[in-house]
Chains A and B, each alone.
Chain A
Amino acid sequence: MPAKKLNLRKRYELLTRGMGWETTYQKMDDVFPYDSFEGIKITDWDKWEDPFRLTMDSYWKFQAEKEKKLYAVIDSFAQNNGQTNLACASYLSAIKLFITGVTPLEYGAHRGFAHLGRHFRGDGARIACQMQAIDELRHAQTQVHTISHYNKHFSGLHDPFHQFDRVWYLSVPKSFIEDAMSSGPFEFITSISFAFEYVLTNLLFVPFMSGAAYNGDMATVTFGFSAQSDESRHMTLGLEIIKFMLEQHEDNLPIIQRWMDKHFWRAYRLLGLVAAMQDYMLTNSPMSWKEAWEVYFVENGGALFEDLSRYGLKMPKYHELATAEADHISHQIWSVFCSLGNATGFHTFLPTEEKMAWLSEKYPDTFDKYYRPRFEYWAEQKKAGTFEYQKGLPQLCQVCQIPMVFTEVQTDPMQISYRVTEHGGDKYHFCSDGCKDIFEHEPEKYVQAWLPVHQIYQGNCGGPTLPEVLDWYKFKPEDSGDYIGSKDYHRWQEWKGADKKVKQA
């Protein structure tokens, strides 16, 4: 008898459904204890449509092909000293920020999706989350491999994971991922898959990967291309889960809207670091933060939310403020890094004339008016030898943990935006209404925050003096400070010859 032909959809269904069962010796609620406490109502998990339809055999096959290509490039990059073809060694500040601030997020996502991959009650949803869990592990591991060669030749890349748990500005990404990971499974997936991967991923991925392409970083851009198809799977999962939750029960909408508002703002604040990277660290910038925001959030995000409005989902709260801030945040955050450049694990540098001309062009309403004078003043001070790094530590926002540098961009851009609330007899400080709202909804969560500045003052970070804290971070003296005159700078000069003075000089 000739075999019945199976179409792909049916075949996939047979290979992923029906293997799980309704448990009888243990209660389903005990086998899947975490998927109901958040209040999300799922009436029929079988309505879940798998976005990937990948069986394991094809997953292994496709991914192995990608891995072979990626490692061939990484090996050849190392063999041929590809680091000497960078636009400038100062570009590596972006890579230092990436491996200390982004790679650990990939690992966190790996564990977070493994949690969902075990604990969602629906078979299809579990498999989708497992696929993402192993992809995220891939990204963490391949990033470590890709950047390994740079670590052999430059400062500041030697202890990324030790630093992620400790360094003052790395608590921004750490608190972001741990916020999602300490939430229930539906909130985690809304945060990571939707708010971050679907709505905002282009604002992380494109600046770093196009930045790599524009600055001669063959290794990182190859990783970027290799991860691209994984990322688009992850984005698809993000959209799928949101639609699934919204379609399952009308009571889910207000919960999801609140999570959307919260995690949009959390992710957006985290991306402030990327904005500074994009506009200031890159020797050659493919596009400004503001341009990226316009394209990827205002246009694409706007269209997405228009599409989702049929479910009643609205644009995330404070998105107008985020758009208004696009003119400011990169300059504000880079200023913080420059003023605390003796305590960063990457080199800082003031924008060159050429870079400032580019910034004036990209930010016609704000750069010359508010930020150029500051950088020029610092440049004069540096020339005169009177520049001093900021003494004392900045106050951090209780939620996003970024120093209080954002301003009232809609009313008075020179005025620091500062919010405060009381809880349990203590005062808590915030950079914005967005962060304050998040705190006020779950104060018992955010009072736990491990705020680096508080911890330093409490003596939990190696000692009371800056050198002791930096030592505790495992920052070596050559990791911090100005790029000009640094070890990286001298090494670069040696390779390139003194005649080719780098752009930053």
Chain B
Amino acid sequence: MSIEISAKSITPVRLAYGNLQQRFGDKKPASRYQEAVYDIQPTANFQYRPLWDKNHDIYDVSKTAIVMEDWYSFADPRQYYYGSYTIARAKQQEVAEHNFAFVDKRDLFDAVPEAVKQAVRDVLIPLRHVEWAANMNNCQITDECYGSNFSSVAMFNAMDRLGMAQYVTRIGLLLDGNEETTLDAAKQAWMDAPQWQGLRHAIEDMFVLDDWFELMVAQNFVLDGLVFPLLYDRFEKKLTQEGGSTVAMLTEFMDDWYQETVRWTNALAKVTAKESTENQALLSSWVSKWMDRLSIALEPIAIEAFGDDGANELVEVKAELLDRLAKQGVTV
């Protein structure tokens, strides 16, 4: 049984903005995602060249070696625009907040073996600097990229990374009853301890990359593709087995985030590789370059995390990543 409210109906004169009708036809209304991310970025008749870069327009396709016939071929499978993005993250942060409060209130860290806590201090807490760098790199992509679909997805990613750097920081504070000891030690390790230097060196080299798409590959395809499965997934599982399930509660956000993020990086790899053999070759060479560099850099951290199994864990994670990228058409 249904009830029907009678309402005034007015036939619209068109169903969508012109750019969207051109892309998707004029038969149905555009989605909020489509309205929010397509074609907003200016593409023509730029007024002035940037004072610091006279070789490029303000928005310029030649800022990367990747060539796309249409830079809007890529669509985010999550369909994130600002509203759907913030609403999704607000839900996740509510869970995270609840978990942090629960751990704090019940003093759950008191029951965690000291060895596990130390492993968290040594392996997880320095990752706040890695997330911070990921924030900078995605901000760089937002700045340099071409197209409002890219700037939108990169901006959300940049803010996610800041958020995760803050969650890692809070774990550090929770471990020490809000003393800064752990944070300070992690920074010290990040700056000086030999096991972190390969990674820090690689990340600093990423800061000065010229090509924003190479940075996209290095950061969001390769580095994240190694760090998240290795440290937020496998290492967490190991800690859980050793009595550290409390830690997993506090990194649930990161785990969920990565599962979700892989969806758009996969889609991006696929559409970019499919465009041309030149793109495919570029992506392959970048993946290969950064895979070599970053897996070597991560090895001492894998060993710190897993002991003798470390090298093997890393090899497995690397193989999974290469396999996943190959499925998108990026073979090394």
Interface of B with A (CB < 8 Å)? 7-8, 10, 12-19, 29-30, 32, 35-37, 39-52, 58-59, 81-83, 86-87, 89-94, 96-97, 104, 128-129, 131-132, 135-136, 139-140, 142-143, 148, 151-152, 155-156, 158-160, 162-163, 165-167, 169-170, 173-174, 177-180, 183, 187, 190-191, 200-201, 204-205, 207-208
Contact = CB atoms under 8 A, between A and B. Distances in A.
Interface string A87-128: 000000000000000011001101100110111000000110
B17 A158 contact: yes
Given A117-B158, A158-B14, 7 more contacts: A15-B166, A34-B52, A64-B90, A144-B40, A148-B17, A165-B42, A474-B18
B39 A161 contact: yes
A385 B82 CA distance: 50
* A interface: dominant SS: helix
Nearest to A491: B13
Nearest to A31: B207
Contacts of A71: 83
A201 interface: no
A152 B82 contact: no
A81 B10 contact: yes
B136 A118 contact: yes
A422 interface: no
Given A6-B178, A178-B48, A55 B166 contact: yes
B50 A60 contact: no
Nearest to B130: A19
Q: State the 9 A-B residue pairs at the shortest beta-carbon distance, nearest first.
A: A56-B163, A64-B90, A152-B12, A19-B132, A141-B36, A3-B177, A114-B142, A159-B18, A118-B139
B166 A23 contact: no
14 contacts: A4-B179, A6-B178, A15-B170, A19-B132, A25-B201, A30-B207, A56-B162, A57-B166, A130-B139, A130-B158, A141-B37, A178-B46, A184-B52, A446-B48
A71 B152 CA distance: 19
A67 interface: yes
Contacts of A68: 87
A195 B15 CA distance: 39
A4 B177 contact: yes
Nearest to B165: A19
* B interface: dominant SS: helix
A182 B205 contact: no
B19 A159 contact: yes
Nearest to A26: B204
A282 to B, nearest CB: 23
A67 B84 CA distance: 8
Contacts of A24: 191, 204
A130 B52 CA distance: 21
Contacts of A141: 35-37, 40, 81-83, 152
Nearest to B148: A107
A33 B30 CA distance: 41
B10 A30 contact: no
Interface stretch (A132-140, A273-281, A297-305): A132-140
B142 A63 contact: no
Nearest to A401: B47
Contacts of B81: 141
B86 A64 contact: yes
Given A71-B83, A137-B152, A141-B83, A166 B207 contact: no
A183 B52 CA distance: 8
Name the residue in B41, B97, B104, B140 with the highest tally of chain A Cβ atoms < 10 Å from its Cβ.
B41
Contact of B35 (A144, A171, A181): A144
A84 B10 contact: yes
A21 B133 CA distance: 10
Contact of A115 (B10, B19, B143, B190): B143
Interface string A56-75: 11011101110110110000
B129 A19 contact: yes
Contact of B7 (A80, A115, A164): A80
Contact of A182 (B49, B83, B86): B49
A356 interface: no
Given A15-B166, A23-B204, A114-B151, A60 B86 contact: yes
A107 B41 contact: yes
A13 B16 CA distance: 45
A14 B25 CA distance: 50
A14 B169 CA distance: 8
A435 to B, nearest CB: 14
A441 interface: no
A175 interface: yes
A232 interface: no
Nearest to B44: A165
B173 A6 contact: yes
Contact of A118 (B93, B143, B169): B143
Name the residue in B87, B104, B129 with the highest tally of chain A Cβ atoms < 10 Å from its Cβ.
B87
Contacts of A381: none
A20 B132 contact: yes
B10 A179 contact: no
A138 to B, nearest CB: 4
A108 B143 CA distance: 10
A406 to B, nearest CB: 21
A111 B139 contact: no
Contacts of A18: 183, 187
Nearest to A103: B40
Contacts of A3: 104, 174, 177-178
Name the residue in B155, B163, B207 with the highest tally of chain A Cβ atoms < 10 Å from its Cβ.
B155
A452 to B, nearest CB: 8
Contact of A184 (B41, B51, B190, B201): B51
A416 to B, nearest CB: 24
Contacts of B40: 103-104, 107, 140-141, 144, 161
Contacts of A455: 45
A384 interface: no
